[in-house]
Amino acid sequence: MNTKLGVLLLGGMLVLAACGEEEAQPVGNEPVEEEMDMSEEQATDEEAVEEEAVEEEASEEEATEKESSEAQPVTDAAEAKKGEASPLLAKGEMTSFVFNEVGEFPIFCAPHPVMKMTVIVQEGASTSGELALDIADYNFSEESITVAPGTIITWTNQDSAQHNVAFE
């Protein structure tokens, strides 16, 4: 049995030496336990560092997502089409439409048909991207406007009365 123990100790010392340990000590001596405790502490420290890195990465991803969502154009804009209409808008409420097709879009307010405007969609128009218009004093803020295809127009009702954006 002593031969087996000797072989095991020798094998353990060789393994430690191969791992770059400066001094291989037989099992049972206190310095080895201290090294193990230090290794455990190092592992705990390494885990803490890894955990911090993961948290920082998650925070960076959240910040990037927030920035990109703030920079994104309005995506819930309905397609501007003949016969379409927004719901009635109370004061301060908004509605958006995207104008993808070239042509003229006559617009009116269903509860107040005297309120009218025209959106002209034309290739190469100088107005593009997103545009904010108001509905105020029983009028659309523009009688006529020319925009490039893909433009999103958002109307905000500034009146106490309810209005909508409807397409003839």
- pLDDT tens-digit series, residues 42-69: 556 666 656 665 565 555 555 544 443 3
| Beta-ladder partners of 94 | 156
Buried b (16+ CB within 10 A) or exposed e, 27-61: eeeeebeeeeeeeeeeeeeeeeeeeeeeeeeeeee
What is the per-residue pLDDT for 150? 96
pLDDT, block means (10 residues), the chain with 168 residues: 64 63 50 50 61 58 46 65 95 97 96 96 94 97 96 97 96
What is the per-residue pLDDT for 76? 77
What is the per-residue pLDDT for 24? 47
| Beta-ladder partners of 108 | 116, 166
Rounded to an integer, what distance in angstroms lies between the CA atom of residue 18 and that of residue 21? 7
- pTM for the model stands at 0.56
What is the per-residue pLDDT for 82? 92
Rounded to an integer, what distance in angstroms lies between the CA atom of residue 71 and that of residue 167? 29
Tally of residues, the chain: 168
Q: What tens digit of pLDDT does each residue of 149-158 get?
A: 999 999 999 9
Rounded to an integer, what distance in angstroms lies between the CA atom of residue 142 and that of residue 6? 96
What is the per-residue pLDDT for 70? 40
Residue 153: left (phi > 0), alpha (psi -120 to 50), or beta? Answer: beta
